[in-house]
Amino acid sequence: MRYSRSLAPLLGVCVVAALLASCATGGGDTGMTRAEAKAQRDAFMKQYDYDDALDMWVPRPGTAAAQPVMPTETRADAKKARDAFLANNKYDDECACFKPISGGARNVSTLTKEERKAETKEFMRTHMYDEVTGQWVERKAAPPQ
């Protein structure tokens, strides 16, 4: 009897520790076999080196990973796309989003300098240019705190 009171909590702690250890060491299914994971690791190690000064993996010279991503559009094309978006949409302070303008595109050149600057600022705050697809995409809103 003397040991049963201290043995039960100790046994409970051991069971919980064993369950946590099994979860941490691969309790979940990744959908990848061990051979696939090794092949993926080997391919990565052939293309990248670890740079201690930068504290990150950097592509090896001469590999496909070292080739820079070239923009699909020129800067002028990106500005034209932005201006076209601003011509067809107006920023609404109530919903903090851009809404399409009914009745077609407006002439942005008729806006005052301050209005154009404010709308461009809001557009740049809510959108970013994706160089891979060559399009302006809406930024993801931060989750409420």
Question: Which residue is listed with tokens 């994971």?
Answer: 37
First to last CA, the chain: 52
Report whether 37 contacts 45 (CB < 8 A): no
Question: Which residue is listed with tokens 């903090």?
Answer: 96
C-alpha dist (Å) from residue 3 to 6, 7, 8, 32: 6, 6, 9, 46
Question: Which residue is listed with tokens 């820079």?
Answer: 68
In the prediction, which pLDDT does 84 show? 84
* C-alpha span between 135 and 83 (Å, rounded): 13
Could you give phi then psi for residue 81, rounded to 5 degrees? -65, -40
Could you give phi then psi for residue 88, rounded to 5 degrees? -100, -10
Pairing of strands 89-92, 48-51: unpaired
In the prediction, which pLDDT does 2 show? 59
In the prediction, which pLDDT does 14 show? 59
Percent of the chain at pLDDT above 90? Answer: 2
Report whether 91 contacts 85 (CB < 8 A): no
In the prediction, which pLDDT does 12 show? 62
Q: Which residues of the chain have pLDDT under 50?
A: none
Number of residues assigned to the chain? 145
